[in-house]
Amino acid sequence: MTAETLMIPGIAMPASRIALGTWAIGGSMWGGADDVNAAKTVEEALAVGINVIDTAPVYGFGHSEDVIGRALETHRDRVILATKVGLDWQDGKVFRDSRGARIADEIEASLRRLRTDRIDLYQVHWPDPKTPIEETARALEKLVQDGKVRALGLSNFSPEQMDEFRKFAPVAAIQPPYNLFEREIEGTVLPYAKTNGLVVLAYGPLCRGLLSGRMTAQTTFTGDDLRKADPKFQSPRFGQYLKAVADLQAIADRHGKSMLALAVRWVLDRGPTIALWGARKPEQISGVQEVFGWSLSAQDMNEIDAILARDITDPVGPEFMAPPPRA
């Protein structure tokens, strides 16, 4: 099955509607790095038609970018390379910093780690309440003018913050959390994207594995796994979400698809979206092609909404992942 594509403003190459998400490849908060499997994962993603690779400096504190840079050395012209800017860290603690001087330093570090002379899509990772949005936007627009960046994106921004940013620099894409269980953007960010011609890179389409269909009540998380701090994975909520997955499986079965394919297809059917498919092992790419070539009906969508409303009596969003402002 050929990968579905769409165009990201400012980027000439059609973008696959599934992107490889590389947070776990960085190792931090995901049980450590495995560089050999990470490189094989990138190769497998390219083999099945994924040509958007999304990373960030904070993923493994530079390690994900370094691994991706090495893996893409002979493939650079085949991919749309997306990374981020605006987070700093000290002693393993992450905080927001989108000052112009910080951006000037970050771009050079990212270009070096990624072994490239340009970033196709450069995204502000989180809004920085201590830096004027104008300062951030003007610093990024200069990188576009200098040829170091093709297009700009914003992650975790509200429509009001995006409006302010767009006074000083164009925006091509936005990257919010979005999945069957985390739908806050439907009343704000998603209609904003549709109205303003922005592509949505939806992160967490499987809700940190909840929607993979592979978890049970006995599933446990160890070490620095971020799900130990995620309220969705704590009782009694965990049971509610697992019940919803079990009930959603009937809809997937009706289409002859996996739960994973249903969850990602749902994201693609909601608008001008690209789903970030997180993987750190090549076998985790399996199933990508099952997402393309079909759609959910209006009846399917209504049934999904009914299941969620019935099974999840205590829903919670992804707020726990938000990093603090700098001191």
CA-to-CA distance for 18 and 15, rounded, in angstroms?
8
CA-to-CA distance for 220 and 129, rounded, in angstroms?
36
Q: What is the pLDDT of residues 246-289, one digit of tens each?
A: 999 999 999 999 999 999 999 999 999 999 998 878 888 888 98
CA-to-CA distance for 170 and 198, rounded, in angstroms?
10
pLDDT of residue 30: 47
Q: Which two tokens stand for residue 31?
A: 């049980």
Residue 59 designated active-site: yes
**Minimum mean pLDDT among 146-160, 221-235, 274-288: which range?**
221-235
Length of the chain: 327
Ramachandran quadrant class, 209 (left: phi over 0; alpha: psi -120 to 50; beta: rest): left
Name the catalytic one among 59, 178, 203, 241.
Answer: 59
Q: Which two tokens stand for residue 1?
A: 């099955």
More confident residue, 35 or 197: 197
Model confidence, pTM: 0.93
If one counts every other C-beta atom within 10 angstroms of the C-beta of residue 51, the result is 20
Alpha helices (H) in the chain, listed in sequence order: 35-47, 63-71, 100-114, 133-145, 159-166, 189-196, 237-254, 259-268, 298-311
CA-to-CA distance for 262 and 268, rounded, in angstroms?
10
Q: Say whether pLDDT at 23 is over 90.
A: no
